[in-house]
Amino acid sequence: MMSPESVIGDLRLHHVGIVVADLDAAIARYEVLGFRKGERHDIPEQQITAVTFSAGSGWVELIQPTDVEGPIARYMAKRGEGTHHVAYAVDNLVATMGRLRDAGVRLIDETPRSGAHGWMIGFIHPEACHGVLTELVQE
């Protein structure tokens, strides 16, 4: 297997995704912590509403499921509120996902899809990252 450096290249922390039951209450709490007004995004294809707060050079993303049968709702039912995923920025998502696949890394997404802000995203299976759901983002 190739070394991670040669597979992904320049990897930068992009955001941390946090699943919440009550988005408005979570927004109020994060604003009390000092985060400025976040940007709200309804993402029907993922069955979520997300709010992103700028955090230095990265983001904090609060995620509320919009469908009780959807994948984020099922995740929260099993694990409760809290950290859902860690996301890393990449320059070329298609090429990065191809290199990971070729290196034998288990992916959830075979091709990129659209996320908040119109960012292109792709997920790596938690089994490939020691139990952490990992998202790759190309802005």
pTM score, whole prediction: 0.89
Tell which CATH architecture fits domain 4-138.
Roll (3.10)
In degrees to the nearest 10, what's the CA dihedral of 112, 54, 8, 104? -50
pLDDT tens-place string over residues 17-39: 999 999 999 999 999 999 988 99
57-82 burial by CB neighbour count: b if 16+ within 10 A, else e?
Answer: ebbbbbbbbbeeeeebbebbeeeeee
Two tokens, residue 38: 């976040």
pLDDT tens-place string over residues 39-94: 999 999 999 999 999 999 999 999 999 999 999 999 999 999 999 999 999 999 99
Two tokens, residue 135: 């998202």
| 59/53 Cα distance (integer angstroms) | 5
